[in-house]
């Protein structure tokens, strides 16, 4: 299984490198050589530092929604595990 992360292209350089924002405000350089006609504003999927796909806006929205649901579920499971192991009180006491 691989994990591709959605991002927005901010800059495309002649050397095949694109600068992508993954939504955290930090711009990262990635390999854009596998995708033709890439331009600033394009939404893309990046895996292992390589753009592997251009996305339509509705596809990007669906991916972000799925990530948010996944993160919420992980947080809920973490809380359940803390309760199960009796860690919730210990964590509060340390604060």
pLDDT digits (tens, 9 = 90+) for 11-36: 999 999 999 999 888 899 999 999 99
Per the structure, how many domains does the chain have?
2
- Note the pTM of the prediction, 2 decimals: 0.73
* Residue 7 to residue 45: CA distance in whole angstroms: 6
C-beta of residue 67 within 8 angstroms of C-beta of residue 5: no
Query: Do 46 and 61 share a structural domain?
Result: no
Residues, the chain, total? 95
The CATH number of residue 22's host domain is: 2.30.30.140
Query: Do 69 and 43 share a structural domain?
Result: no
Whole-number pLDDT of residue 86: 83
Domain that holds residue 11: 1-55
Query: Do 93 and 63 share a structural domain?
Result: yes
Take residue 84 and report the two structure tokens written for it: 């199960």
């Amino acid at each position: 299984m691989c994990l591709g992360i959605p991002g927005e292209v901010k800059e495309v350089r002649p050397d095949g490198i694109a600068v992508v924002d993954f939504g955290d405000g930090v711009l990262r350089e990635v390999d854009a050589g596998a995708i033709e006609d890439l331009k600033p504003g394009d939404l893309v999927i990046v895996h292992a530092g390589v753009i592997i796909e251009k996305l339509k806006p509705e596809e990007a929205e669906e991916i972000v929604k799925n990530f948010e649901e996944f993160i919420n579920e992980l947080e809920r499971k973490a809380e359940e595990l803390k309760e199960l192991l009796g860690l919730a009180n210990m964590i509060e006491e340390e604060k």
